Amino acid sequence: MSGEPAPTRAGSASAAAIGGGGGGGGSVDWDAVHAIDLVYVQDCHRLCGDAHCCSFARHKARFRMLAQQPFQELPLLPGEYEHMAARGALAQFGEFERRRGEFALDAARAVPYESIVSRRPGCACEHATRPTICRLYPLFPVHDVAGRLLGVEPQFGVYEELEALDGAPRACAVGSLPFEQLQLFLGLCGRLAASPLHLFCLHAYRATKRHVVDGLRRRLATAPQSAFALFEWQMLKNRLVDRDALRAELTALADAFAAHYGERFALPAPTLPAPPTTAGGAP
């Protein structure tokens, strides 16, 4: 599951607020996480007809300038890259680039993000060694700050949100969690939510995606057009994110986690100077 033009899985604040290194607040047993073979529907790639989530080719075809060269971007969670490297699982990506960055909240805290960009034709990863985001797709878990699972979000990424904005049918034919896979889903989500830092990354991903989509929805209300066309234009103009507004949202989220977890939760300090902003908050 991959393939959105960076930074679409989490807006321009993070190609994956879901991923990154550094920080504190507990660790994840990656051997246990990657041993959970969550499969919503056996051979689900046959339902969409072309293993859609391995390339998102149908969505990319709607862009005029973005994603014209084949690539797949896979957001990673903190520590996941190191685990895959130690297990020899990076070779599956073929020719790839490791991308790392951060979104500064203040002088002391930043949200790190990390992803792998693979040029491998077809699917970027192997089923048995796929990263966490591929194991979760297409249902994103929704937790509260305490880590209690509240439900799932079928609009996993920006592509699914653009489908909904356009009123288009879902390209992915999986829209619900089969009962027989429930325990595997709960086990995977529980292991991720046990770490305050990893739980925060999941929250930050959803918050950033919501920020981007809400901005698109407001623009579409005044100037109806294809959501894909608007997304592409806003991304090329670097207008997908109001950095000041998103910073306020993620700061409030980080404060809520700090209040709940105390010393168990910590974000790393910024390592890069904060980018300048305009009066309206856009970069």
Indicate the pTM of the whole model: 0.85
Measured distance CA(273)–CA(275) in Å, rounded: 6
Residue 189 domain flag? yes
Q: Which of 7-11, 80-84, 186-190, 208-212 has the lowest mean pLDDT?
A: 7-11
**Residue 63 belongs to some domain of the structure:** yes
What are the tens digits of pLDDT across the range 209-228? Answer: 999 999 999 999 999 999 99
What number is the average pLDDT over the span 19-34? 71
- Distance CA(194)–CA(199), nearest Å, equals 7
Q: Is 228 within the bounds of a domain?
A: yes
Residue 73: count of CB within 10 angstroms of its CB: 23
Q: Does 255 fall in a domain?
A: yes
Q: Which residues, including other chains, have CB under 8 Å from residue 150's CB and lie 6 or more apart?
A: 142, 143, 144
At 78-87, the pLDDT tens digits run 999 999 999 9
How many CA atoms are closer than 13 Å to the CA of 129, on its beta-carbon side? 15
> At residue 28, does pLDDT exceed 80?
yes
Sheet containing strand 72-75, strands side by side: 72-75, 110-118, 96-104
126 dihedral zone (left: phi>0; alpha: psi -120 to 50; beta): beta
Q: Is 145 helix (H, G, I), strand (E, B) or coil?
A: coil
Residue 20 has pLDDT above 70, yes or no: no
Crossing angle, helix 158-166 and helix 227-236, to 10 degrees?
Answer: 130
16 located within any domain: no
Q: How confident is the model at residue 49 (pLDDT cuts 50, 70, 90)?
A: low
All residues at 6 or more sequence positions from 265 whose CB lies less than 8 Å from its CB, including other chains: 24, 25, 196, 197, 200, 257, 258
Average pLDDT of the residues in 111-118: 94
Whether residue 4 lies inside any domain: the answer is: no
Q: How many CA atoms lie within 13 A of 235 on its CB side?
A: 25
How confident is the model over 102-109, as a mean pLDDT? 96
On whether the CB atoms of residues 161 and 11 are closer than 8 A, the answer is no
Give the list of residues 6+ apart from residue 126 with CB closer than 8 angstroms, or none.
92
Instruction: Considering only residues 236 and 20, tell me which one the structure prediction assigns the higher pLDDT.
Output: 236
Judge whether 175 and 185 are in contact, CB under 8 Å. Answer: no
- Residue 107 phi/psi, 5-degree rounding, is -70, -15
What is the rounded average pLDDT for all residues in the chain? 85
In a domain, 238, yes or no: yes
Host domain of residue 215: 30-264
Distances (CA, A) of 282 to 209, 221, 245, 246: 16, 20, 9, 10
Residue 22 included in any domain: no
> pLDDT tens for residues 267-278?
999 997 655 554
According to the model, what pLDDT value does residue 282 have?
43
Domain total in the chain? 1
Residues 54/137, Cβ–Cβ less than 8 Å: no
| C-alpha to C-alpha distance for 49 and 63, rounded to whole angstroms | 21
CB-based burial label for 100 (10 Å; 0-12, 13-18, 19+)? middle
Reply yes or no on whether the pLDDT at 27 is more than 90: no
CB 126 within 8 A of CB 92: yes
